[in-house]
Amino acid sequence: MLNILIIGNGQCGNRILDAINREAFGKKSRLAKFYSQQKYKSNVQTIAINTAVNDLKEMKFTKAKDRIHIPHLHGVGANRNVGKHVFEDNKTHILRQIEDRGNFDVCFVITSASGGTGSSFTPLLVKELKEKHDYPVYAIVVLPFREEGTLYLQNAAFCLRDVRESGVDGIILADNQFLKQMGGNVESAYNGINDMIAKRLLFLLDALDSEMMMVTDLGDFKTVMGGGAGLATIGFYEADTEMPVRTAIQNALSPSGLLFSSNVYDEASRAMIIIKGDKERLSIDEISTEVEKLSSAVGHVFKGIIVRNGELPQVLAVLTLESASELESLYSIAVDAIKHEKEKKERVSNVKEVDRAFSQIDGMDPSY
Amino acid sequence: MFHKRKILYTIFLIFIFSFLFTGSATAVTLFNDTIEQGDGYQINNFVIDVTEVFASQEAATLRIYEGESDDDDYVYDPFLSVGDSYEFDIEDEEAEITLIDVYSGVVPRAKLLITVTDDDFINSNTEGVVDGGHSEAEYSLTPVLKISKSVDNDNINVGDVVRVTVTVENTGDGEAQDVVFSDPQQPKFILVDDILGTPGRMDVAVDDSPKKIYVYDLKATEAGTFSLNPTTASFTNSVGETFPEVSSNSPTVIVEATEDLVNATLDINTELDAYSVERNSEIQGLLRIKNTGTTSAEAVTLKLIIPDGLEYTGGDPSIEEISGVPTIYLDSFGIQQEKEIDFKLEAKEIGTYTISTESSYMYDDGVNPELQEVSSTSVTNKIYVTKGEYDYLFEQPVYVYAVPLVIIGGIVGWIYYRHKQYKF
């Protein structure tokens, strides 16, 4: 049994973590926590960290003891510099909370790249974990909508760089911009994205600790995540009607199945495909055909098959990327945002000249 | 031969003596002593006066009187010498006077032997020496008392007063002495005025006009025809003889009902909203009181007698629980006044019950000085208490309740535990 630690940093990380815990109950009901048990195959410990207490209070499926509030008013206000200071001030407390939960085989840190607490805490936290522990730490980073604002884009650019330089063993990207194609209002879109990430991560955890017809394990996952540019995405498809497993694999690798926009056949470096379903529906020929097709493009593909009687085919693909055109696009937008913010700051500086004008009457009183 | 004659002679003598002694035993000696001249000896109404004693001539003159008589109105006047006898009849018996001797002196005396053939007729009160002779003798006379009871009105209404007068008259030949009257209390009437009071022991002389012994007023309390109880009298005559008790007549008084007699009549009715209820159900009760009488009722007390299977749970503030009995007390309840008092019961046990309402009250009927007291009990229709909707739940063994409760408790505890786990 694997010992797995999942940390959710900031509002986005907290919500995805809560979605994972909810999915683990296997029920959609809000009352599932009262009558059901989480169905983790592994020893999974979850920790939510936030400076905004309200975000922690909104969590419904994460135990109270697993929610760590870092007192700093009500958040850091999307200011990563403030966030870094707060982390440094509370580092000891955070790390003690993590260490109290024991040793782990793997750790996932979930965060938004654009926010305040998550984007500033995650790189520093990863760095501390890597310095103190020898288990692999993977970051699941959610990229912002491009139109969310210059501060968020600026944060995303610096956060992603900081995370990559923190010593993390891999970054799994999830792009809100790409995922908003799901439609619906903002809340349902966010919830949908959270659910998508949760479902994929749970599938991955289940696959890493399951007895398989064809085995993929944590070692394979490490190998996959160690390839490419250290960036990865996850594709997933769950058939809701009878369909060939080949179609399910294709759907998982298609843009609609990925968390981050990518042409896996061109940009992927390594891959791991895990297929689950009734053995009657899992045609080895079809699976081999699709895997061979992918491996011929990306090189090596780890393949795992989990047999579950009566279930329709479900496919999870972990793909590391050599390049990411979408990421380059994000950074070019981010650069514009940084410039825009700089210009704005300069304008604010000019406004201070007005303050100097006012200062001429300091210490004087009106005479009538 | 000599012996035989001697025996026969002896038997003959015995026979002779027996005959002689038997004949002399029939005369009873009443007196054998001296009587002074002027005195007499009384045998019932007869007095034998020693009129004059002639000592020198050893003779005396006697006069025999019957009843109260003048000196010259004697019946017999025998002149007897010493040793002479005189016989005369007294009340069918034969008396004999024998002059035994005479004595001279300041007051001459004569010794007389007086016998009668039978003394059964002699009244001991009127027998013996009488100083002064016949004029001083006490004779046994017969008083005859006639008691009359009358009313001034023998047809009255309830509440009216009738005057009763009782008189007595002696129509006999002697005074009635130590007369004691008795006038028993009269049912259905009350004594409102005793004018003469209770007469004491008295004498009633002959030929006196009728004498009032009782005069009193009675008030009729009830309609009907009533014979007044007779007045009785016991008495003796002058010599102390007791005569049979005499009674007066019994006048009849017809008493008719009158509208002036008032009463209070409380109609008490207890109703319930349901007579067939399930156990543990509530029953609403309503007690209605109405005074349909012609005067107000006082000290009205109503008690609701609730059987064990029902429980009084509350009601009108006028209801007080006294010793566990819901009780209503009203100082006064006016004519035609109505009152409704509600109360609540709870059916505790399955069964058939009735509720009794015990009432008591008093009123002034305008006739009797005391308040009239009325008590009554009314009973409701039967109340059927059947099984409650959830009674079957309590008919099961304990584990039937315990197991679900434990499970529910466990679930609640689990939910609370989970809630605490996830409450931030």
Please tell me whether residues A182 and A290 are part of one structural domain: no
Q: Do B424 and A64 touch (CB under 8 A)?
A: yes
> What confidence tens digit (pLDDT) does each residue in A151-184 have?
888 888 899 999 999 999 999 999 887 766 665 5
Please tell me whether residues A19 and A105 are part of one structural domain: yes
Q: Which of B414, B419, B424 sits opposite A67 (nearest CB)?
A: B424
Asked if A30 has any chain B CB less than 8 Å from its own CB, the reply is: no
Please tell me whether residues A198 and A163 are part of one structural domain: yes
- For A36, which residue in chain B has the nearest alpha carbon? B418
Q: Do B422 and A57 touch (CB under 8 A)?
A: no
**Diameter of chain B by CA atoms?**
169
Q: What is the DSSP letter of B181?
A: E
Q: Indicate which CATH number applies to the domain containing A162.
A: 3.40.50.1440
pLDDT value, residue B22: 45
A294 in Cβ contact with A300 (< 8 Å): no
- Rounded-to-integer distance, Cα A202 and Cα A311, Å: 17
H-run or E-run covering B80:
strand B79-81
Residue B89: helix, strand or coil by DSSP? Answer: strand
The residue to which tokens 């604010």 are assigned: A348
Please tell me whether residues A155 and A16 are part of one structural domain: yes
Please tell me whether residues A174 and A254 are part of one structural domain: no
ipTM over 0.85: no
- Rounded-to-integer distance, Cα A356 and Cα A339, Å: 26
Six-digit token string for A30: 């809000």
Q: Do B424 and A59 touch (CB under 8 A)?
A: yes
Residue A290 lies in a domain: yes
Residue B399: helix, strand or coil by DSSP? Answer: helix
- Rounded-to-integer distance, Cα B14 and Cα B19, Å: 9
- For B412, which residue in chain A has the nearest alpha carbon? A34
Q: Do A62 and B421 touch (CB under 8 A)?
A: no
Q: Do B421 and A61 touch (CB under 8 A)?
A: no
- Rounded-to-integer distance, Cα B344 and Cα A274, Å: 75
Q: A57 to chain B, minimum CA–CA distance in Å? A: 6
- Rounded-to-integer distance, Cα B205 and Cα B211, Å: 10
Domain residue ranges in chain B:
2-136, 145-256, 266-386, 397-424
A64 interaction partners in chain B (CB closer than 8 Å)? 420-424
What stretches in chain B show pLDDT beneath 70? 1-26, 259-260
Please tell me whether residues A107 and A164 are part of one structural domain: yes
- For B423, which residue in chain A has the nearest alpha carbon? A64
The domain boundary residue, chosen from A174, A209, A244 = A209
Please tell me whether residues A138 and A249 are part of one structural domain: no
Q: Do B414 and A63 touch (CB under 8 A)?
A: no
Residue partners of A181: CB distance under 8 A and separation at least 6: A256
Asked if B424 has any chain A CB less than 8 Å from its own CB, the reply is: yes
Rg of chain B (C-alpha set): 48
Percent of chain B with pLDDT over 90: 63
Residues 375-414 of B with CB under 8 A from A: 414
pLDDT value, residue A354: 66
Residues 148-207 of A with CB under 8 A from B: none
Q: Which domain holds residue A243?
A: 233-321
Residue A331 lies in a domain: no
Burial degree of A180 (CB within 10 A; 0-12, 13-18, 19+): middle
- Rounded-to-integer distance, Cα A128 and Cα A94, Å: 10
- For B418, which residue in chain A has the nearest alpha carbon? A34
Please tell me whether residues A260 and A174 are part of one structural domain: no
Residue A348 lies in a domain: no
Question: Are β-strands A67-69 and A43-50 bridged in parallel, bridged antiparallel, or unpaired?
Answer: parallel
Q: What are phi and psi of A107, to 5 degrees?
A: -135, 135
Q: Do B424 and A61 touch (CB under 8 A)?
A: no
pLDDT value, residue B319: 95
What stretches in chain A show pLDDT beneath 70? 27, 73-74, 179-187, 212-214, 349-354
Residue A133 lies in a domain: yes
Q: Fold for domain B145-256?
A: Immunoglobulin-like (2.60.40)
Domains B145-256 and B266-386 share a fold: yes
Please tell me whether residues A24 and A86 are part of one structural domain: yes
Six-digit token string for A227: 């390839």
pLDDT value, residue A31: 85
pLDDT value, residue A319: 93
Residue A341 lies in a domain: no
- Rounded-to-integer distance, Cα B127 and Cα B114, Å: 12
Six-digit token string for A270: 């390594």
- Rounded-to-integer distance, Cα B5 and Cα B360, Å: 107
- Rounded-to-integer distance, Cα A120 and Cα A127, Å: 12
- Rounded-to-integer distance, Cα A181 and Cα A232, Å: 20
Q: Do A33 and B414 touch (CB under 8 A)?
A: no
> What confidence tens digit (pLDDT) does each residue in B70-122 have?
989 999 999 999 999 999 998 889 999 999 999 998 899 999 999 999 988 88
Please tell me whether residues A203 and A96 are part of one structural domain: yes
Please tell me whether residues A201 and A240 are part of one structural domain: no
Chosen for mutation from B407, B408, B411, B422 (greatest number of chain A CBs closer than 10 Å) is B422
- Rounded-to-integer distance, Cα B312 and Cα B325, Å: 9
Residue partners of A323: CB distance under 8 A and separation at least 6: A229, A267
Chosen for mutation from A21, A33, A36, A58 (greatest number of chain B CBs closer than 10 Å) is A33
- Rounded-to-integer distance, Cα A54 and Cα B147, Å: 121
Residue A182 lies in a domain: yes
Six-digit token string for B35: 């009587």
Q: Indicate which CATH number applies to the domain containing A304.
A: 3.30.1330.20
Residues 43-102 of A with CB under 8 A from B: 56-57, 59-65, 67
Asked if B415 has any chain A CB less than 8 Å from its own CB, the reply is: yes
Q: B347 to chain A, minimum CA–CA distance in Å? A: 42
A56 interaction partners in chain B (CB closer than 8 Å)? 424
Residues 274-333 of A with CB under 8 A from B: none
B420 interaction partners in chain A (CB closer than 8 Å)? 64
B39 in Cβ contact with B55 (< 8 Å): no
For chains A and B, CB pairs below 8 A equal 21
B407 interaction partners in chain A (CB closer than 8 Å)? none
Residue A24 lies in a domain: yes
Residue range B266-386, CATH number: 2.60.40.10
Residue A365 lies in a domain: no
Please tell me whether residues A240 and A296 are part of one structural domain: yes
H-run or E-run covering B20:
helix B2-24
Indicate the residue type of A99.
E
pLDDT value, residue B21: 46
How far is Cα of residue B419 from the mean position of the Cα atoms in its chain?
94
Asked if B21 has any chain A CB less than 8 Å from its own CB, the reply is: no
Q: What are phi and psi of A335, to 5 degrees?
A: -60, -45
- For A58, which residue in chain B has the nearest alpha carbon? B424
Mutual angle of helices A186-208 and A218-226, in 10-degree steps: 120
Looking at domain B2-136, which CATH architecture does it have?
Answer: Sandwich (2.60)
Q: A158 to chain B, minimum CA–CA distance in Å? A: 32
How far is Cα of residue A282 from the mean position of the Cα atoms in its chain?
30
> Number of folded domains in chain A?
2
pLDDT value, residue B19: 45
Chosen for mutation from B415, B421, B424 (greatest number of chain A CBs closer than 10 Å) is B424
